[in-house]
Each structure stands twice: as structure tokens, then as C-alpha cells.
Amino acid sequence: MKSQYVALRVLKQIVKDKRLLAMMFVAPIMVLLLLKIILTSSSTTPTIVLVAPPAPFQAVLEKEAKILLEDKVDDAISLLYAREADAYIDFTGTEPHLAIEGADPARSQLVAAKLQKVLFAMASSETSLAMKEYVSLLQEPDYLYGSKDYKLFERVSPMLMGFLIFFYVFVTAGISFLRERISGTLDRLLATPLKRSQIVWGYFLGFGGFVFIQTIIIQAFGVYALHIPLHGSFWTVMLIDLILSTVALSLGLFLSAYSRNEFQLFQFIPIVIVPQVLFSGIFDLSEAPAWIQWLSHCFPLTYAAEALRDVMIRGEEIYHVIPELLVLLAFSAVFLLLNTSVLKKYRKI
Amino acid sequence: MQNEAAIRIHEITQKFGSNVILNSISLTVDKGEILGLLGPSGSGKTTLVKAVVGMGNIDKGQVTVFGHRMPNLEIVQKIGYMAQADALYEDLNAIEHLAFFGRVYGLTGEEIKEKGKRILELVQLSEHARKKVLYYSGGMKRRLSLAIALFHEPDIIILDEPTVGIDPVLRRHFWDEFLRLRADGKTIIITTHVMDEALHCDRLAMIREGELIAEGRPDQLMQAIHASDIEEVFLHYSNHNERRGRE
């Protein structure tokens, strides 16, 4: 039995690796905390517009949702377009009619869940009248964006696609720049007349070409083979994805400077990648505490997901997502500059 | 042109945390001479030659090459550097390496083609020119590294342990080339821990634990203490230095 010596050596190594310790103890707790906050804060109150509702229905719904009252259906629709409400119910016809905004899967499900709860409450109470009419509410809602046939995959696919592109570009770019450092070739390059910025730019451009092809393939496969719904322009989505990959690329290059080996680069994933999934729009953050919302604005994927959802599900035009694209480009520029200055420790100019 | 300083190292000190890697070293290398930096691994040789190329961050002192303070990218253009580790790209072949580094040093496509052929012949890699470096032996990698360092015909050539792990025939061949380059007026700094190699150098600087312990022509160094070989000289000054340190 000499295993204990191996075990002791492993323990000693781990204890000496402060980053590994932090990853093992701090990162899971942080992610768990974020998950708890985000998943529990999303199940709050939807905003529903009612058009000429019967009093008993309104009374029960008021306990579950924030209610806005309108006289005309058109006004209710424009509230949905303005994203001030998640759904409206129109009682002016023979049967009540439900329409859901639909671009945000979490909000859509929330509306459906709340209405179900309301109908149950009404069915069990004395005031129940003409339940049959109300049941139709849940069966045939209209969707402003997308359709009722959308499964979870279709609704989260824009964000998912953005995330996948981000993740793979980050990992490949990070590792290859890391290799350049470990193998000594970066050191070798710094003994040449190349400027630091030229090296970083060269990497960025070289990988950029590759990432360009990768993005086209992922996106074309998603849209044409998997039929991910796309209501906006293919090329606008392409542009968003490409700009997102430049962010991933520059971030990967930058963080690789803080890693001695591949393992250390992977250690950044729980900190840099995992929170981005939580903030990428798959989960609803509208009711989350202010610091979570603030934090979500520090991560590039938040902006990309918003832009992708706008174009892919809402069918918005390119000018609508320009602010998001500018923020992404700024992220990219900052990471590149930081990377160039990190290389200073190898050569001053 | 003889005896004109190509490189002046002035009191450079480099620390890594509390470790002193180089302690106030001053050295001058004349144009057209081969300076050997002799010392065991860990003595600071690599850090010192990197400082000459302008890499790393020296804590104190300065290096000037042809009168320009380093780092200076225009001067770097005139330096050929062969690193201690073979910094090569596994997936590229010899020609692709030369093409890349040639471009980085500003050679034209024509020049790369023409000079590439010659330099590969010189390091005897012509028949392996299209083989991926991944399949190269250690000696072949060293030869390619040397080819890259000499490719742009620099005035100053800095070679960090160029002959480690290569067979004696090739080592002789390398040295013939170094002597030929010196005859062309090139300035060469070569680090080594092989004592007999040191005899080929015009001048030696012995380094131990970041200190310059002795400097001079090999024959003079030996004569001064009646030593029969360079190793004896090194041991003599190492002990000398330690005694001084204790006092």
C-alpha cells in the first residue's frame, strides 16, 4: 500500500495551487448562488393587459399578475409591442382571447402558468361560471412573435447559438495562444521586429478568418437543417454572431495570458462562461435583484443574446441592434488592448 | 572596424521576486568577435542574452546595441536570435518556417526563395525541407532554429546553447559556420555550458549565480592561473568568488 504517498503528493499539489483551490470551492458556490437567485426570482408576476374583463376574472387574476386595463384591443397590442406587457386577454368577442408576446420563453411560460392557476382557483370557487369559455384561453393563445408550435428549443435557440459560438471560439483561441506561449514561439516572436500589437492583431485576424467560416457553418446548419426560426435577416444574424466571436476570440487570447497551461485556461470557464449562460436570456432576469442585473451588463453574451432575439424571433431590422453591436465591439477592443499590455512583461515595446 | 563596440551591457540587474538573476553585470562585445558566455544552467545566461535582444524587463542598468538603447525594434532587425528551446511550429515544415520568419524580418518573396535554399543546404536540411517539424529529431530542430536565426543575415547573432544535444560532427560543422560568419564581420554571442567549446571563442565571460566571475581571452584566462583547461579556470574563479562572498 503505497497509495497514501501518491494521495499525499496530490493533496500537497492542490493546496499549493491557489487558483485550483478557488475554483474548487469558490466557483461552484458562486454559480449555485447565482442559479438560486435567478431561478427563484423569475417566477414572479407577469404583466397582463385586460380588455373589457368580467369582474370576477379580474378579481382573481389581480392576485397573480400585474393588470393593465384598456378599452381597445389595438391599445393592448401596442402595449405588447412596446414590451410593457407580456400578454393581453380580450373579452370583447364571443370567447375570451389570449395573445402572448412570445419572444421570451420564460415570460411566456409564466403567463401560461399564472392563467392556469387562476382558472383552477375559479373552478373551485362558487363564482365559477362558463368555465368552458375560459378554458379556451389556455388552448389557443396567439403569439405576437413566434408561434404556439415553438418548443423550448426554438425559443432558446438564438441564445443557444450565440452561446455555442462564444464558447468554442473562446476555448480554441485561448488554447492556441497559450500553446504559442508554452512552446516558446511567442518568446521567439518577441525577439523579432514584430510589435506586440502586431502579434496580437495577427492572431486576431488569423483566427478571425477561421471563426468566420465556423460561424457560417453553425448558423447555416441551425437555420437550414434544424429549422431554427429566423424572422429577421440571415445576414444581420451573421453579423451579430461574427461580432460576438470577435469578443470570444479577444477574451480567449487575453485570458490565456493568465494561464500557465490548458488546465488553468479551463479554470476560467466556471467564472467567465457559466455565468454568461445564466445571463444569456434563457432565464428571465427582469425580477432579479439589481446587482444581478448590473452583473449581467458586464458580460458580452447578454448583449449578443438580446440582439439575436430581436432579430431572430422579433424580426427586427439591423438598425435596431446597433447599440448592442457597438457594446460588443467595445468589449473586443478592450480585451485586445489589455492583451497587448499584458505582453509587456515579455518585452517593453 | 575592429575593436569597435557592438554591444554594451551596463550594470544590468534583474530580479525575479527576491531572487537575483543578474547582479549588476557589465560587458562589452566588440564588432566581429565571438563572445562566449560560460556558465551552468540557471546562472543567468539566458536572461542576459534576452536582455541584449530587448526582451524581459531589466530592473536596473541598460543595454545598448550599435549605440541604441534596447529594446529598439529597428535594432532587433539586425539581430539574429536562436533561443535555447526550439521555438518551432510543429505543424509547419522548414520552408514554411523560413517564409514566415523571412517576412517578419522584411525579406521579399524572391529573397526568401533564393536564400532559403542556400540556408537549408548550410544546415543540411534540404532533403527534409518539406517535412513537418513534428517529425524532426532534436538535432534537426536545432539546425532549423539556427537557419532561422541566420536567415535575414543579421550583423549580430545571439545563440543560446546552439550545440546542446547535437552530434559532434554537426557541432564541428556549426562552429565552422560561426567562424566563417565572424570572418564576415558578424558579432556573435554564444552561450554554452560545454567548457571545451569555449576555447573557440575570442573572449569568454564566465557567469555563476548571476555574477560575472571572470572575463578575458581563453588562453589568457588559463595562463593567468596556470590552468590546463577552461573548467579549471571556471572552478578557480567560482571558489574565489565564494571565498570573497564569505569574507
Whole-number Å distance between alpha carbons of A84 and A69: 13
Q: What is the pLDDT of residues B170-217, one digit of tens each?
A: 888 889 999 999 999 999 999 988 877 888 899 999 999 889 999 999
Whole-number Å distance between alpha carbons of B198 and B140: 23
Query: Cα angle at A84 between A82 and A89, to 5 degrees?
Result: 100
Q: Which three cell numbers stand for residue B119?
A: 540556408
- The per-residue pLDDT for B1 is 42
Reply yes or no on whether the pLDDT at A321 is more than 70: yes
Best of B15, B49, B57 to mutate (most A CBs within 10 Å, chain A): B57
> What ranges do the domains of chain A cover?
47-143, 153-345
Whole-number Å distance between alpha carbons of B27 and B46: 15
- The per-residue pLDDT for A168 is 87
Q: Which three cell numbers stand for residue A296?
A: 449581467
In Å, how far is A185's CA from the nearest CA of chain B? 4
- Residue A38 pLDDT class (50, 70, 90 cuts): confident
Residue closest to B79 by CA, chosen among B158, B174, B182, B164: B158
What global pTM score does this model have? 0.77
CA dist A57 → A48, B141, B245 (Å): 13, 82, 94
- For residue B32, count CB atoms less than 10 angstroms from its CB and return exposed for 0-12, middle for 13-18, buried for 19 or more: buried
Q: What is the average per-residue pLDDT within A124-146? A: 67
A27-60: b (≥16 Cβ within 10 Å) or e: beeebeebeebbeebbeeebbbbbbebeeebeeb
Q: Which three cell numbers stand for residue A229?
A: 426560426
Reply yes or no on whether the pLDDT at A257 is more than 70: yes
Reply yes or no on whether the pLDDT at A141 is more than 50: yes
- Residue B2 pLDDT class (50, 70, 90 cuts): very low
Q: What is the pLDDT of residues A180-198, one digit of tens each?
A: 888 888 888 888 999 888 9
Strands B68-69 and A142-143 come out as unpaired
Q: What percent of chain A has pLDDT over 90?
A: 8
B105 interfaces chain A, CB cutoff of 8 Å = yes
Give the closest of A188, A195, A349 to B87, CB-based.
Answer: A188
Of A218-222, A287-291, B54-58, B103-107, the range with the lowest mean pLDDT is: A287-291
Whole-number Å distance between alpha carbons of A244 and A324: 10
Residues of B in contact with A181 (CB under 8 A): none
- The per-residue pLDDT for B117 is 92
- The per-residue pLDDT for B63 is 92
Q: For each of the domains in chain B, give its residue range(s) and CATH number, in order of start.
A: 1-78+156-162+180-247 (3.40.50.300), 84-153 (no CATH)
Best of A177, A186, A188 to mutate (most B CBs within 10 Å, chain B): A188
Give the closest of B57, B86, B105 to A193, CB-based.
Answer: B105
User: Which residues is B64 bridged to in the sheet?
Assistant: B8, B69
Which residue would you say has higher pLDDT here, B10 or A149?
A: B10
- For residue B111, count CB atoms less than 10 angstroms from its CB and return exposed for 0-12, middle for 13-18, buried for 19 or more: middle
Q: Identify the top-confidence range among A126-140, A266-280, B118-132.
A: B118-132
Do the beta carbons of residue A69 and residue A49 sit within 8 Å? yes
Give the closest of B71, B85, B87 to A348, CB-based.
Answer: B71
Measured from the Cβ of residue A325, the count of other Cβ atoms closer than 10 Å reads 19
Q: What percent of chain B has pLDDT over 90?
A: 49
Reply yes or no on whether the pLDDT at B53 is more than 80: yes
Task: Walk across the sheet containing B211-216 and list its strands.
Answer: B79-82, B156-160, B187-192, B34-38, B203-208, B211-216
SS3 (DSSP) at B22: strand
Reply yes or no on whether the pLDDT at A109 is more than 90: no
- The per-residue pLDDT for B26 is 92
| CA dihedral of residues A214, A216, A219, A223 (deg, nearest 10) | -140
Residue closest to A245 by CA, chosen among A269, A212, A275, A206: A212
Q: CB–CB of B86 and A189 under 8 A?
A: no
SS3 (DSSP) at B34: strand
DSSP H helical segments within chain A, as ranges? 3-16, 18-41, 55-61, 73-81, 105-124, 131-139, 152-182, 185-189, 196-220, 234-256, 262-266, 274-279, 290-296, 300-312, 322-342
Give the closest of A188, A346, A348 to B83, CB-based.
Answer: A188
Whole-number Å distance between alpha carbons of A277 and A263: 21
- The per-residue pLDDT for B156 is 95
B98 interfaces chain A, CB cutoff of 8 Å = no
Which residue would you say has higher pLDDT here, A108 or A42?
A: A108
Of A116-120, B126-130, B133-137, the range with the lowest mean pLDDT is: A116-120
Reply yes or no on whether the pLDDT at B78 is more than 50: yes
- The per-residue pLDDT for A326 is 96
Q: What is the CATH number of domain A47-143?
A: 3.40.190
Q: What is the average per-residue pLDDT within A297-325? A: 89
Whole-number Å distance between alpha carbons of A67 and A115: 13
Q: CB–CB of A349 and B104 under 8 A?
A: no
Element (H, E) at B74: helix B73-76
B224 interfaces chain A, CB cutoff of 8 Å = no
Q: Which three cell numbers stand for residue A197?
A: 500589437
Give the closest of B87, B89, B104 to A193, CB-based.
Answer: B104
Q: CB–CB of B74 and A191 under 8 A?
A: no
State which residue of chain B sits closest to A183, comparing Cα positions.
Answer: B87
Do the beta carbons of residue B2 and residue B32 sit within 8 Å? yes
Residues of A in contact with B90 (CB under 8 A): 183
ipTM value for the complex = 0.84
Give the closest of B55, B73, B86 to A193, CB-based.
Answer: B73
State which residue of chain A sits closest to B86, comparing Cα positions.
Answer: A184
Q: Which three cell numbers stand for residue B141?
A: 530542430
Reply yes or no on whether the pLDDT at A297 is more than 90: no
In Å, how far is B50's CA from the nearest CA of chain A? 8
Give the closest of A184, A185, A347 to B71, CB-based.
Answer: A347
Q: Which three cell numbers stand for residue A79?
A: 402595449
DSSP A185: H
Do the beta carbons of residue A11 and residue A254 sit within 8 Å? no
DSSP H helical segments within B77-217, as ranges? 94-104, 109-122, 138-151, 168-183
Residues of A in contact with B86 (CB under 8 A): 184
Residue B71: asked if its preceding bond is cis (omega within 30°), the reply is yes
Element (H, E) at B235: helix B230-246
B106 interfaces chain A, CB cutoff of 8 Å = yes
Residues of A in contact with B88 (CB under 8 A): 183, 185
Phi, psi for residue B242 in degrees, rounded to 5: -65, -40
Q: CB–CB of A184 and B72 under 8 A?
A: no
Mean pLDDT of chain B: 88
- For residue A285, count CB atoms less than 10 angstroms from its CB and return exposed for 0-12, middle for 13-18, buried for 19 or more: buried
Element (H, E) at B52: helix B45-53
Residue closest to A181 by CA, chosen among A121, A264, A92, A267: A264
Reply yes or no on whether the pLDDT at B92 is more than 60: yes
Interface of B with A in 7-36 (CB under 8 A): none
Spatial neighbors of A25 by CB under 8 A, at least 6 apart, are none
Q: CB–CB of B71 and A187 under 8 A?
A: no
Whole-number Å distance between alpha carbons of B46 and B192: 10
Q: What is the average per-residue pLDDT within A155-177? A: 85
Q: How many Cβ pairs within 8 Å bridge chains A and B?
A: 57
- The per-residue pLDDT for B186 is 94
Reply yes or no on whether the pLDDT at A46 is more than 80: yes
Residues of B in contact with A347 (CB under 8 A): 54-56, 71
Reply yes or no on whether the pLDDT at A133 is more than 70: no
DSSP letters of A302-327? HHHHHHHHHHHTS---GGGGHHHHHH
